[in-house]
Amino acid sequence: MKFEQIPNIDKAWDSVSIETLSPSTFSWIHNGCAYQVLLNRLLNAHPSCQLPPHKNTTIGTIVHKIYELTTKGQLCSFAEMRDKWEEMIKIEEDKLAIKYPTLKSINLNDYDKRNKAIKYALWITKNRKPKVEESSNVSVLSEKYLDCKEIGLKGVADKLVIANGEISIIDYKSGQVFDKDGNIKKEYITQLHLYAAMCEHLQLGKISRLALIDINGEEIFVDQELKRKLCNNVSATIEHLNDIILRRAFEEVVKVDSSICSKCDCRHICQYRLENEEDYYHTIVGTVVEQPSTNMYVVTDDSSINRYISGLDQYSIDNASGYFKKRLVFINVVKSSPNSEDSAYKVCDSSIIFEQL
């Protein structure tokens, strides 16, 4: 086994240019970390260097697929929905096993969310209109791809219901819909309004309803006051991001927050990431300066601190000594002792290791 190589990030920026954004990406730029969006675009050209998506992201995609197939009448019973869920989970777990050989613990399933999703899917089945009625009065579009590159937007709407020239836009959410203050999360409101702007741009009809549906099947309505303003901001946002890339002025858009950084899917290539020492999992980046045994590397990080990474003998590493003076990235390593304040870490079932060029 060889560690996958991450390209030289500084040189890779020359090939990155942003032409369109999805509603969710635009929302994250303004409500999360814009630098993460730029790093993700860079990694699109190097898919072998991408970290696995968060478990909740994969579950969310599967939930959407169950709803789509149910809406189309391709899944009609609990057994069919359960079997399809398990099939999709298995496919995603097999993909991870192949792509990440150091990842020993792969368990994506969430039976609580599965059961809640199937409960709502059964409701969809029960309330589906007959095809004749649906085709004559109502058009239901699941996972509808919307291409509005003229205004800088592309994306897939979870569900559009078009009736008599009016459109209901529905966005499914498998996670928390409300923030800690009990308000609908800003990023979800932004996403719905941009889908509304895209539907109007494509002249699909007049927007009559914007709604979120959570994992429990509860429908939450969103008002329609923002879409024009947001749409006007998209082109300016794209222009600003391309200027940031050109000037390499990433510090202007990075959001350093340990609660975001610890779960970021670009933390293995981010020079600004901030770690919380109290976190269970850690990301260590450094140059191998010593190999005391086949079980351990000593790496020097950018602060000139030596980190001791053990547990390597559980991997069949081709020419392990050949990584001397090479820069390695260790994702999801843990402290050797929970109460330890030293620099000793060990790999675990969730660890992923890269070589950084």
Residue 185 token pair: 């999360």
Q: What is the DSSP letter of 13?
A: G
Please give the Cα distance from 250 to 243 (Å, whole number).
Answer: 10
Please give the Cα distance from 271 to 329 (Å, whole number).
Answer: 12
DSSP state letters, 297-351: EEEE-TTS-EEEEE-GGGS--TTGGGGTT-EEEEEEEEESSTT--SSEEE--TT-
- Alpha carbons within 13 angstroms on the beta-carbon side of residue 72 total 14
Residue 133 confidence (pLDDT): 44
Strand 219-222: give its sheet, edge to edge: 138-148, 153-163, 166-172, 206-213, 219-222
Helix 227-247 and helix 34-43, axial crossing angle in degrees, nearest 10: 70
Residue 130 confidence (pLDDT): 57
**C-alpha separations of 68 from 111, 143, 170, 215, 229 in Å:** 19, 7, 12, 14, 31
- Alpha carbons within 13 angstroms on the beta-carbon side of residue 93 total 13
Q: Are strands 327-335 and 282-293 parallel, antiparallel or unpaired?
A: antiparallel
Residue 183 CB burial class (10 angstroms; 0-12, 13-18, ≥19)? exposed
- Enter the pTM of the model: 0.88
Residue 159 confidence (pLDDT): 95
Residue 229 token pair: 């303003």
Please give the Cα distance from 343 to 335 (Å, whole number).
Answer: 8
No. of H helices and E strands in the chain?
10, 12
**Length, in residues, of the chain:** 357
**Residue 256: count of CB within 10 angstroms of its CB:** 13
Q: Are strands 327-335 and 344-346 parallel, antiparallel or unpaired?
A: antiparallel
Residue 284's DSSP bridge partners are 330
CA quadruple 344, 348, 43, 192: dihedral positive or negative? negative
Q: How would you write the pLDDT of the chain (357 residues) with one tens digit per residue?
A: 899 999 888 889 998 999 999 999 999 998 889 999 999 999 999 999 999 998 999 999 999 999 999 999 999 999 999 999 999 999 999 999 999 988 888 999 999 999 999 999 999 999 876 554 455 578 889 999 999 999 999 999 999 999 989 999 999 999 999 999 999 999 999 999 999 999 999 999 999 999 999 999 999 999 877 667 777 789 999 999 999 999 999 999 999 988 889 889 999 999 999 988 888 899 999 999 999 999 999 999 988 999 999 999 989 899 999 999 999 999 999 998 766 567 899 999 999 999 999
* Amino acid identity for residue 296 in this structure: M
Which of 273, 289, 284 shows the shortest CA–CA distance to 326?
289
Which of 335, 327, 341 shows the shortest CA–CA distance to 299?
327
> Quick one: how far is CA 90 from the chain centroid?
19
Phi, psi of 198 (to 5 degrees): -65, -40
